[in-house]
Amino acid sequence: MNMNGRKLPQEIEDALCRDIRTRIEIQKGMAENTQMVLELELGISLKTIYAIEHGHYDALSPRKVSARIMHEVRRRRQIYNLGKEALQGYTVDALCERYNLGSTSIEKRIRLVKDQMMHELARRNVA
């Protein structure tokens, strides 16, 4: 239902669900590339990740981090930053404005779509 309590037309409802799924996929991609995840996966500190990401890692000092890991940090943090940029079009506020709905309605739909995605995943895993 929209802000006036009327049911949304099916094509708008479908478009909203697609946008919410896109939002969830972007967030998932970002979550896989956070500094904390890289710290655990690559075995380097957050300080080192930050320094590599911002170009402050001293290339003249004896390498404590291999070139492969430095490349991986840069690549994955770039993915994170691109996701952060892309997510701007899918924030709750952006969806509210795009579909003329209140934030509570959008947040409820986000929960419903997440639940639906979890059920689909569970069904696929069982099959």
Model confidence pLDDT, tens digit, residues 23-55: 999 999 999 999 999 999 999 999 999 999 988
Q: Which residues of the chain have pLDDT under 50?
A: 2
Range of the domain at 38: 10-126
Does residue 60 belong to any structural domain of this protein? yes
Which pLDDT score is estimated for 110?
A: 96
* 102 closest CA partner among 110, 90, 111, 93: 93
Q: Tell me if 53 is assigned to some domain.
A: yes
| Burial of 88 from C-beta contacts in 10 A (0-12 / 13-18 / 19+) | exposed
The two three-digit tokens of residue 40, written as one number: 């655990």
Report yes or no on whether pTM surpasses 0.85.
no
* Residue 78 to residues 43, 50, 81, Cα–Cα distance (Å): 19, 12, 5
With tokens 């697609």, the residue in question is 18
Domain count, the chain: 1
Asked whether residue 30 is assigned to any structural domain, the reply reads: yes
Residue 112 lies in a domain: yes
